[in-house]
Amino acid sequence: MSALEPRPGVLRLAPYVQGRSAIEGVTNPIKLSSNESSQGPSPLAIEAYHRAAAQLNRYPPGSQWDLREAIGASHGLDPNRILCGNGSDELIQLMVRAYLGSEHQALLSENGFVMSNIHCTAQGAELVIAPEKNYTVDVDAMLERVTSKTRFCTIANPNNPAGTYISGEELRRLHAGLPENCLLLVDDAYAEYATAADYADGAELVDDFDNVVMTRTFSKIYGLPSLRIGWAYCPTGVFDLVQRIRTPFNTNGPGLAAAAAAVRDRDYMLSVREENARWRERITAHLTRPGIEVIPSQANFYLLRFDAAGGKSGTGAAEFLHSQGIIPRPTGGSDQFLRITIGVAHENEAVLDALDRYMDA
Protein backbone atom coordinates (compact mmCIF):
# COMPACT_ATOMS: atom_id res chain seq x y z
CA MET A 1 0.00 0.00 0.00
CA SER A 2 1.34 3.44 -0.85
CA ALA A 3 2.12 5.92 1.90
CA LEU A 4 1.37 8.79 -0.49
CA GLU A 5 -1.59 10.88 0.53
CA PRO A 6 -3.41 12.98 -2.07
CA ARG A 7 -4.58 16.49 -1.17
CA PRO A 8 -8.11 16.53 0.17
CA GLY A 9 -10.47 17.04 -2.73
CA VAL A 10 -8.47 15.26 -5.43
CA LEU A 11 -10.06 11.89 -4.73
CA ARG A 12 -13.49 13.49 -5.05
CA LEU A 13 -12.78 14.04 -8.74
CA ALA A 14 -13.30 11.75 -11.71
CA PRO A 15 -11.16 12.30 -14.83
CA TYR A 16 -12.70 14.67 -17.39
CA VAL A 17 -14.53 12.95 -20.22
CA GLN A 18 -14.01 14.69 -23.57
CA GLY A 19 -16.86 15.05 -26.09
CA ARG A 20 -17.10 11.98 -28.31
CA SER A 21 -15.28 12.36 -31.63
CA ALA A 22 -15.86 9.09 -33.51
CA ILE A 23 -18.64 6.74 -34.56
CA GLU A 24 -17.64 3.18 -35.33
CA GLY A 25 -17.84 2.48 -39.05
CA VAL A 26 -18.28 6.16 -40.03
CA THR A 27 -15.26 7.70 -41.78
CA ASN A 28 -16.08 11.41 -41.57
CA PRO A 29 -18.67 11.97 -38.88
CA ILE A 30 -20.18 15.41 -38.37
CA LYS A 31 -18.66 16.30 -34.99
CA LEU A 32 -20.85 18.71 -33.09
CA SER A 33 -20.02 17.62 -29.56
CA SER A 34 -17.41 20.13 -28.32
CA ASN A 35 -18.56 23.60 -29.41
CA GLU A 36 -15.69 23.85 -31.87
CA SER A 37 -15.81 26.10 -34.93
CA SER A 38 -16.67 24.10 -38.04
CA GLN A 39 -15.56 27.12 -40.10
CA GLY A 40 -12.04 26.76 -38.73
CA PRO A 41 -9.54 29.54 -38.11
CA SER A 42 -8.70 32.56 -40.26
CA PRO A 43 -6.39 31.59 -43.18
CA LEU A 44 -4.00 34.24 -41.81
CA ALA A 45 -3.78 32.29 -38.54
CA ILE A 46 -2.88 29.12 -40.43
CA GLU A 47 -0.17 30.99 -42.35
CA ALA A 48 1.27 32.38 -39.10
CA TYR A 49 1.23 28.89 -37.63
CA HIS A 50 3.26 27.54 -40.56
CA ARG A 51 5.74 30.42 -40.32
CA ALA A 52 6.23 29.66 -36.63
CA ALA A 53 7.40 26.15 -37.56
CA ALA A 54 10.79 27.68 -38.45
CA GLN A 55 11.27 28.52 -34.75
CA LEU A 56 10.36 25.20 -33.17
CA ASN A 57 13.89 24.82 -31.79
CA ARG A 58 13.42 28.02 -29.71
CA TYR A 59 11.49 28.55 -26.53
CA PRO A 60 8.36 30.61 -27.09
CA PRO A 61 8.35 34.30 -26.02
CA GLY A 62 7.59 34.05 -22.32
CA SER A 63 6.30 37.63 -22.21
CA GLN A 64 3.58 36.79 -24.77
CA TRP A 65 3.85 40.46 -25.69
CA ASP A 66 2.92 40.40 -29.39
CA LEU A 67 -0.32 38.55 -28.69
CA ARG A 68 -1.11 40.70 -25.65
CA GLU A 69 -0.68 43.82 -27.77
CA ALA A 70 -2.83 42.40 -30.57
CA ILE A 71 -5.61 41.50 -28.12
CA GLY A 72 -5.34 44.91 -26.44
CA ALA A 73 -5.60 46.73 -29.77
CA SER A 74 -8.53 44.65 -30.96
CA HIS A 75 -10.53 44.95 -27.73
CA GLY A 76 -9.43 48.39 -26.56
CA LEU A 77 -7.83 46.92 -23.41
CA ASP A 78 -4.58 47.60 -21.58
CA PRO A 79 -2.11 44.91 -22.75
CA ASN A 80 -0.17 45.29 -19.50
CA ARG A 81 -3.03 43.54 -17.74
CA ILE A 82 -3.59 40.75 -20.26
CA LEU A 83 -2.24 37.33 -19.42
CA CYS A 84 -2.27 34.37 -21.81
CA GLY A 85 -2.66 30.76 -20.82
CA ASN A 86 -2.67 27.21 -22.10
CA GLY A 87 -6.36 27.60 -22.87
CA SER A 88 -8.57 29.73 -20.65
CA ASP A 89 -8.85 26.57 -18.63
CA GLU A 90 -5.29 27.06 -17.35
CA LEU A 91 -6.02 30.67 -16.43
CA ILE A 92 -9.04 29.61 -14.39
CA GLN A 93 -6.83 27.10 -12.62
CA LEU A 94 -4.17 29.75 -11.92
CA MET A 95 -6.74 32.15 -10.43
CA VAL A 96 -8.13 29.40 -8.24
CA ARG A 97 -4.66 28.39 -7.09
CA ALA A 98 -3.78 32.00 -6.31
CA TYR A 99 -6.85 32.84 -4.25
CA LEU A 100 -8.71 29.76 -3.02
CA GLY A 101 -7.66 27.64 -0.04
CA SER A 102 -9.09 24.47 1.44
CA GLU A 103 -10.67 26.56 4.23
CA HIS A 104 -12.66 28.61 1.70
CA GLN A 105 -15.83 28.24 -0.34
CA ALA A 106 -16.17 28.60 -4.10
CA LEU A 107 -19.53 29.93 -5.23
CA LEU A 108 -20.59 28.49 -8.58
CA SER A 109 -23.70 28.38 -10.68
CA GLU A 110 -25.40 25.10 -11.56
CA ASN A 111 -24.44 25.20 -15.23
CA GLY A 112 -20.97 26.66 -15.06
CA PHE A 113 -17.95 25.35 -16.88
CA VAL A 114 -17.15 21.94 -15.42
CA MET A 115 -13.40 22.64 -15.23
CA SER A 116 -14.04 25.45 -12.72
CA ASN A 117 -15.65 22.92 -10.40
CA ILE A 118 -12.72 20.57 -10.91
CA HIS A 119 -10.07 23.20 -10.12
CA CYS A 120 -11.91 24.38 -6.99
CA THR A 121 -12.44 20.82 -5.78
CA ALA A 122 -8.76 19.99 -6.36
CA GLN A 123 -7.84 22.92 -4.08
CA GLY A 124 -9.84 21.20 -1.35
CA ALA A 125 -12.33 24.09 -1.19
CA GLU A 126 -16.01 23.58 -0.50
CA LEU A 127 -18.20 24.01 -3.58
CA VAL A 128 -21.41 25.97 -3.08
CA ILE A 129 -23.61 25.56 -6.13
CA ALA A 130 -26.50 27.94 -6.76
CA PRO A 131 -29.48 26.59 -8.74
CA GLU A 132 -30.39 28.31 -11.99
CA LYS A 133 -33.74 29.69 -13.11
CA ASN A 134 -34.86 28.96 -16.67
CA TYR A 135 -31.42 27.44 -17.33
CA THR A 136 -29.91 30.87 -16.56
CA VAL A 137 -27.59 32.07 -13.80
CA ASP A 138 -29.83 33.25 -10.94
CA VAL A 139 -28.04 36.19 -9.33
CA ASP A 140 -30.34 36.18 -6.28
CA ALA A 141 -29.76 32.47 -5.68
CA MET A 142 -26.01 33.06 -5.89
CA LEU A 143 -26.01 36.04 -3.55
CA GLU A 144 -28.14 34.18 -0.99
CA ARG A 145 -25.32 31.65 -0.74
CA VAL A 146 -22.49 34.10 0.00
CA THR A 147 -20.82 33.48 3.38
CA SER A 148 -17.74 34.85 5.15
CA LYS A 149 -15.81 31.95 3.56
CA THR A 150 -16.70 32.82 -0.06
CA ARG A 151 -13.39 33.71 -1.76
CA PHE A 152 -13.98 32.72 -5.37
CA CYS A 153 -17.05 33.03 -7.55
CA THR A 154 -17.36 32.26 -11.23
CA ILE A 155 -20.03 32.18 -13.89
CA ALA A 156 -19.76 31.37 -17.57
CA ASN A 157 -21.55 34.06 -19.60
CA PRO A 158 -22.97 32.81 -21.96
CA ASN A 159 -22.98 29.58 -20.00
CA ASN A 160 -22.42 26.02 -21.12
CA PRO A 161 -24.32 23.72 -21.77
CA ALA A 162 -27.42 25.95 -21.86
CA GLY A 163 -26.00 28.88 -23.88
CA THR A 164 -28.04 31.39 -21.85
CA TYR A 165 -26.63 34.68 -20.52
CA ILE A 166 -27.16 37.36 -17.92
CA SER A 167 -27.17 41.05 -18.86
CA GLY A 168 -24.38 43.47 -18.10
CA GLU A 169 -26.60 44.94 -15.40
CA GLU A 170 -27.16 41.57 -13.74
CA LEU A 171 -23.44 40.88 -13.86
CA ARG A 172 -22.82 44.16 -12.01
CA ARG A 173 -25.46 43.23 -9.45
CA LEU A 174 -23.74 39.88 -8.86
CA HIS A 175 -20.42 41.63 -8.33
CA ALA A 176 -21.95 44.25 -6.02
CA GLY A 177 -23.28 41.53 -3.70
CA LEU A 178 -19.98 39.70 -3.32
CA PRO A 179 -17.52 40.45 -0.52
CA GLU A 180 -14.53 42.59 -1.50
CA ASN A 181 -12.17 39.71 -0.67
CA CYS A 182 -13.89 37.40 -3.17
CA LEU A 183 -12.52 37.12 -6.70
CA LEU A 184 -15.23 37.12 -9.39
CA LEU A 185 -14.09 35.31 -12.53
CA VAL A 186 -16.29 36.04 -15.53
CA ASP A 187 -15.75 33.18 -17.96
CA ASP A 188 -16.51 34.76 -21.33
CA ALA A 189 -15.39 31.87 -23.56
CA TYR A 190 -18.43 32.42 -25.82
CA ALA A 191 -18.60 36.24 -25.58
CA GLU A 192 -17.95 36.87 -29.28
CA TYR A 193 -21.06 34.91 -30.24
CA ALA A 194 -23.41 36.92 -28.00
CA THR A 195 -25.53 39.40 -29.96
CA ALA A 196 -28.15 40.37 -27.34
CA ALA A 197 -28.29 44.17 -26.94
CA ASP A 198 -28.01 44.03 -23.13
CA TYR A 199 -25.08 41.59 -23.09
CA ALA A 200 -21.78 42.96 -21.78
CA ASP A 201 -18.54 41.07 -21.32
CA GLY A 202 -16.63 41.41 -18.04
CA ALA A 203 -14.03 43.97 -19.25
CA GLU A 204 -15.67 47.10 -17.81
CA LEU A 205 -16.03 45.47 -14.41
CA VAL A 206 -12.35 44.54 -14.51
CA ASP A 207 -11.52 48.21 -15.15
CA ASP A 208 -13.78 49.37 -12.32
CA PHE A 209 -12.83 46.93 -9.55
CA ASP A 210 -9.77 45.12 -8.28
CA ASN A 211 -11.50 41.78 -7.66
CA VAL A 212 -12.88 40.87 -11.11
CA VAL A 213 -11.17 38.90 -13.88
CA MET A 214 -12.47 38.12 -17.36
CA THR A 215 -11.26 35.03 -19.23
CA ARG A 216 -11.55 34.57 -23.01
CA THR A 217 -10.37 31.96 -25.47
CA PHE A 218 -9.09 31.32 -28.98
CA SER A 219 -10.70 27.86 -28.84
CA LYS A 220 -14.19 28.91 -29.91
CA ILE A 221 -14.89 31.67 -32.44
CA TYR A 222 -11.23 31.84 -33.54
CA GLY A 223 -11.21 28.10 -34.27
CA LEU A 224 -7.86 27.27 -32.61
CA PRO A 225 -8.64 24.87 -29.73
CA SER A 226 -5.80 22.56 -30.67
CA LEU A 227 -3.26 25.32 -30.01
CA ARG A 228 -4.56 25.94 -26.47
CA ILE A 229 -4.49 29.71 -26.17
CA GLY A 230 -6.73 31.60 -23.77
CA TRP A 231 -6.36 35.01 -22.17
CA ALA A 232 -7.39 36.83 -19.04
CA TYR A 233 -7.95 40.55 -18.50
CA CYS A 234 -7.01 41.33 -14.92
CA PRO A 235 -6.65 44.13 -12.40
CA THR A 236 -2.97 44.93 -11.74
CA GLY A 237 -2.92 43.13 -8.38
CA VAL A 238 -4.29 39.89 -9.83
CA PHE A 239 -1.96 40.10 -12.82
CA ASP A 240 1.08 40.49 -10.55
CA LEU A 241 0.07 37.60 -8.36
CA VAL A 242 -0.69 35.17 -11.18
CA GLN A 243 2.57 36.06 -12.97
CA ARG A 244 4.34 34.58 -9.93
CA ILE A 245 2.80 31.14 -10.34
CA ARG A 246 2.48 31.00 -14.14
CA THR A 247 5.12 28.76 -15.71
CA PRO A 248 7.28 30.93 -18.01
CA PHE A 249 6.45 29.04 -21.22
CA ASN A 250 2.84 28.09 -20.60
CA THR A 251 1.83 29.19 -24.12
CA ASN A 252 3.43 27.65 -27.20
CA GLY A 253 5.07 29.61 -30.04
CA PRO A 254 2.88 28.48 -32.96
CA GLY A 255 -0.19 29.05 -30.79
CA LEU A 256 0.85 32.59 -29.85
CA ALA A 257 1.62 33.43 -33.50
CA ALA A 258 -1.61 31.98 -34.87
CA ALA A 259 -3.73 33.62 -32.16
CA ALA A 260 -2.15 37.05 -32.83
CA ALA A 261 -2.91 36.72 -36.57
CA ALA A 262 -6.44 35.51 -35.76
CA VAL A 263 -7.30 38.41 -33.48
CA ARG A 264 -5.91 40.89 -36.02
CA ASP A 265 -8.19 39.42 -38.69
CA ARG A 266 -11.29 41.01 -37.24
CA ASP A 267 -13.31 40.74 -40.46
CA TYR A 268 -12.96 36.97 -40.44
CA MET A 269 -14.10 36.74 -36.82
CA LEU A 270 -17.10 38.97 -37.57
CA SER A 271 -18.10 36.83 -40.52
CA VAL A 272 -18.06 33.70 -38.31
CA ARG A 273 -20.09 35.52 -35.69
CA GLU A 274 -22.68 36.64 -38.24
CA GLU A 275 -23.01 33.20 -39.80
CA ASN A 276 -23.41 31.64 -36.35
CA ALA A 277 -26.12 34.12 -35.35
CA ARG A 278 -28.00 33.48 -38.60
CA TRP A 279 -27.97 29.72 -38.08
CA ARG A 280 -28.80 30.02 -34.38
CA GLU A 281 -31.97 31.87 -35.29
CA ARG A 282 -32.88 29.52 -38.11
CA ILE A 283 -32.24 26.38 -36.04
CA THR A 284 -34.23 27.73 -33.09
CA ALA A 285 -37.19 28.54 -35.34
CA HIS A 286 -37.02 25.18 -37.09
CA LEU A 287 -36.82 23.06 -33.94
CA THR A 288 -39.43 24.96 -31.95
CA ARG A 289 -42.23 22.42 -32.15
CA PRO A 290 -44.30 20.29 -29.78
CA GLY A 291 -42.04 17.81 -27.98
CA ILE A 292 -38.85 19.90 -28.07
CA GLU A 293 -37.85 22.92 -26.03
CA VAL A 294 -35.00 24.91 -27.56
CA ILE A 295 -33.24 26.77 -24.74
CA PRO A 296 -32.54 30.32 -26.06
CA SER A 297 -28.83 30.44 -26.83
CA GLN A 298 -26.33 33.28 -27.24
CA ALA A 299 -23.49 30.87 -28.00
CA ASN A 300 -22.38 28.58 -30.83
CA PHE A 301 -24.47 25.66 -29.60
CA TYR A 302 -28.01 24.96 -28.48
CA LEU A 303 -29.43 22.81 -25.74
CA LEU A 304 -32.58 20.86 -26.52
CA ARG A 305 -34.97 19.40 -23.96
CA PHE A 306 -37.09 16.57 -25.26
CA ASP A 307 -40.50 16.07 -23.74
CA ALA A 308 -40.60 12.65 -22.02
CA ALA A 309 -44.41 12.57 -22.42
CA GLY A 310 -43.95 12.39 -26.18
CA GLY A 311 -41.75 9.30 -25.76
CA LYS A 312 -38.66 11.14 -26.99
CA SER A 313 -35.41 11.78 -25.16
CA GLY A 314 -32.00 13.38 -25.57
CA THR A 315 -30.36 9.98 -25.43
CA GLY A 316 -32.79 8.61 -28.02
CA ALA A 317 -32.11 11.60 -30.28
CA ALA A 318 -28.34 11.15 -29.79
CA GLU A 319 -28.57 7.51 -30.81
CA PHE A 320 -30.55 8.41 -33.92
CA LEU A 321 -28.09 11.18 -34.83
CA HIS A 322 -25.20 8.72 -34.40
CA SER A 323 -26.93 6.38 -36.87
CA GLN A 324 -26.88 9.33 -39.30
CA GLY A 325 -23.15 10.00 -38.77
CA ILE A 326 -23.69 13.01 -36.47
CA ILE A 327 -22.12 13.40 -33.01
CA PRO A 328 -24.01 15.63 -30.53
CA ARG A 329 -23.27 15.86 -26.79
CA PRO A 330 -25.64 14.31 -24.25
CA THR A 331 -25.40 16.63 -21.24
CA GLY A 332 -27.52 18.85 -19.02
CA GLY A 333 -27.93 16.50 -16.08
CA SER A 334 -30.69 14.24 -17.41
CA ASP A 335 -31.34 12.08 -20.44
CA GLN A 336 -33.95 14.56 -21.69
CA PHE A 337 -31.26 17.00 -22.82
CA LEU A 338 -28.98 17.13 -25.83
CA ARG A 339 -26.45 19.82 -26.75
CA ILE A 340 -25.51 20.37 -30.38
CA THR A 341 -22.84 22.71 -31.73
CA ILE A 342 -23.82 25.00 -34.58
CA GLY A 343 -21.81 23.86 -37.59
CA VAL A 344 -21.52 24.93 -41.21
CA ALA A 345 -24.57 24.88 -43.49
CA HIS A 346 -24.49 21.26 -44.64
CA GLU A 347 -23.90 20.06 -41.06
CA ASN A 348 -26.79 22.08 -39.67
CA GLU A 349 -29.07 20.96 -42.48
CA ALA A 350 -28.16 17.31 -41.78
CA VAL A 351 -28.99 17.78 -38.09
CA LEU A 352 -32.34 19.45 -38.76
CA ASP A 353 -33.31 16.79 -41.26
CA ALA A 354 -32.31 13.97 -38.87
CA LEU A 355 -34.14 15.54 -35.92
CA ASP A 356 -37.28 15.99 -38.03
CA ARG A 357 -37.15 12.30 -38.89
CA TYR A 358 -36.52 11.32 -35.25
CA MET A 359 -39.46 13.38 -34.02
CA ASP A 360 -41.81 12.17 -36.76
CA ALA A 361 -40.94 8.47 -36.32
Ligand X SMILES: Cc1ncc(COP(=O)(O)O)c(C=O)c1O
Residues that bind ligand X (CB under 6 A): 35, 87-89, 113, 156, 160, 187, 189, 217, 219, 225, 230
Q: How far is the CB of 153 from ligand X (least distance, A)?
A: 15
Minimum Å gap between C-beta 33 and ligand X is 11
The 3-state DSSP class for residue 64 equals coil
Shortest reach from residue 307's CB to ligand X, in Å: 26
Closer to ligand X at the Cβ: 202 or 225? 225
In angstroms, the CA 262 to CA 297 distance is: 25
Cα(349)–Cα(279) distance, integer angstroms:
10
Nearer to ligand X, 219 or 297 (CB): 219
Helices (H), the chain: 43-52, 65-75, 87-99, 114-122, 139-144, 168-176, 203-208, 236-245, 253-264, 266-287, 314-323, 345-360
Reference 101, options 148, 147, 152, 145; nearest CA is 152
Minimum Å gap between C-beta 358 and ligand X is 26
Burial (CB count <10 Å: 0-12, 13-18, 19+), residue 321: buried
187 closest CA partner among 328, 284, 299? 299
Name which of 254 and 313 has its Cβ closer to ligand X: 254
Helix axes 65-75 and 253-264, enclosed angle (nearest 10): 20
Measured CA to CA, the distance from residue 310 to residue 315 in angstroms comes to: 14
Shortest distance (Å) from residue 309 CB to ligand X: 31
Are 101 and 151 in contact, with CB atoms under 8 Å apart?
yes
Nearer to ligand X, 156 or 294 (CB): 156
Residues 137 and 175 sit within 8 Å (Cβ to Cβ): no
- Tell me whether residue 258 or residue 354 sits nearer to ligand X (CB atom): 258
Question: Closer to ligand X at the Cβ: 230 or 314?
Answer: 230
Q: Which residue is nearest to ligand X (CB)?
A: 87
Could you tell me the smallest distance in angstroms from the CB atom of residue 186 to ligand X? 10
